[in-house]
Structure 1
Amino acid sequence: MKLRHARAIAVFGIAVFALTGARGSHGGGCDNSSSGSSSSSSSGGSGSHSDNDNDSNATSGGSLPGGGSADKAARDVTIDKCAYDAATKNLTAKITVKNDGALDYDYSVTMKFTGAGATSATAVKTGIAVTAGSSVSTELTTPYPGTGDGSEYTKCEVSRAGRI
C-alpha cells in the first residue's frame, strides 16, 4: 500500500508541475509578468493601411523605455486617412488614438509613408495626451519628397508607437 500512495503522490506532483509549468512563481498562465497585467513579450511585426480612405488599425511591435507597451500603444492607433495634401505639399495621416485604460497616457507615433516606386517618408508626433477612457484625433505630416502629384504614396503604416 505504501508503494501505491507513493505513486499517487508522484503522479499528482507531475500533474501539478505540468499544469503550472517550471517557470517559478508565475504559474502556468500565458504571461511572464508579475504585475498581473497582460503583455506580449514578442517584438517586431507590422500592420498597414494600404489605401487612402479606409479605416484600419495598424500595429507595430517591440518595447519602449519608460514603461509603455509598444504592442498596446500601436493597437490604440487607428489610421483614419492617408493622403497627399496638394495645398501644403505634405504627406498627411489623420489618426485617432483611443485610450481604453484606467490611466492617462502621452503617446508618440511614427508614421511611415510608402508606395510603388516611392522613397519612404516618415512623420513623427509626440506628446499626444489622451486621458483615460477617451480618444484624440490628430494629424501627422511630413514634407512631400517628390516632384509629382503625390499619387505614388499609397500606404501609411505605424512603424513605431509608444505611451508613457
Structure 2
Amino acid sequence: MNMRHVRAIAVFGIAVVALTGARGSHGGSCGGSSGSHGSSSGSHHDDDGTTGSSSGGSVSGGSSSSNKASRDITIDECKFDPATKNLVARITIKNDGLLDYDYDVTMKFTGAAGGTAVPATATKTAVAVAAGASQSAELTTSYPGSGDGSEYTRCEVTRASRS
C-alpha cells in the first residue's frame, strides 16, 4: 500500500457556526471537535463574554449543483442583535469562477438539542458576485422568542445556489 496516494477529503458537510456569548455556553466549537473542521477559508475565533459575537466557519453542501455555490460561502459571524431583536448571519461569498453569478443563500439558526429554540431561517437572494471577486452579505430574520437570544447557539447554511 502506497500511502502517498491517500488524500484527505475536504469535509464540507454540516459546518455549523456557534453563537457565542450565550449564557451557559462555553464559547463556540464550530460544530464540535471531532478533528475535521473543514474550515479552510474561515477563521476560527471565539469572543467569550461579548453578546452577539461568533466564530467563523464553513458551510454544508446539498446536491452536486449546489455544492459549487456552497463552497463559495464562508460564514463570518452569527449573532443575536439585541437592538433590532434579529438573528443575524454575516457571510462572504467568493466567486473564483470565470463568470459573474447571482447567489441565493438560506441560513438556519438553531439551539442545543432538546433546547427551547425554534429553528429560524433567513434567506438572501440575488447577491451579485463578479467573476474573481468577493461580496459580503447579511441575512437577518426576526427573533421568535421573548428572551435574550441565548437559546440560539448555532447557525448553518442549509441551501445555496448560483445562477
TM-score band w.r.t. shorter chain = 0.5 to 0.7
Instruction: Quote the offset at 1:50 in angstroms.
Output: 2.5
In proportion to residue count, which structure has more helix? 1
Distance (whole Å) between structure 1 residues aligned to residue 61 and residue 18 of structure 2: 15
TM-score (norm 2): 0.68
Residues 38-57 of structure 1: matches in 2 within 5 Å? 45-52=13-20, 53-57=54-58
Which residue of 86, 93, 96 corresponds with 1:90? 86
CA RMSD of aligned residues (A): 1.5
Give unmatched runs, 5+ long, in structure 2: 1-12, 21-53
Are residue 59 (structure 1) and residue 27 (structure 2) matched? no
1:113 alignment partner in structure 2: 109
Instruction: Quote the offset at 1:49 in angstroms.
Output: 1.5
Instruction: Quote the offset at 1:163 in angstroms.
Output: 0.2
2:129 alignment partner in structure 1: 130
Instruction: Quote the offset at 1:54 in angstroms.
Output: 1.7
Report how many residues are paired.
Answer: 116
Instruction: Quote the offset at 1:81 in angstroms.
Output: 0.4
Distance (whole Å) between structure 2 residues aligned to residue 144 and residue 88 of structure 1: 9
Q: Does the Cα contact within 8 Å between 1:46 and 1:61 map onto a contact in 2?
A: no
Please say which of residues 52-61 and 135-144 is displaced more in the overlay.
52-61
Q: Deviations over 1:99-149 (max 9, x none)?
A: 001000000000000012111000000000000000000100000000100
Q: Does the Cα contact within 8 Å between 1:101 and 1:133 map onto a contact in 2?
A: yes
Q: Deviations over 1:65-95 (max 9, x none)?
A: xxxx200101111110000001100000000
Residues 67-106 of structure 1: matches in 2 within 5 Å? 69-106=65-102
Identity score, percent: 62
Give unmatched runs, 5+ long, in structure 1: 1-44, 64-68
Distance (whole Å) between structure 2 residues aligned to residue 78 and residue 135 of structure 1: 11
Q: Does the Cα contact within 8 Å between 2:15 and 2:57 map onto a contact in 1?
A: no
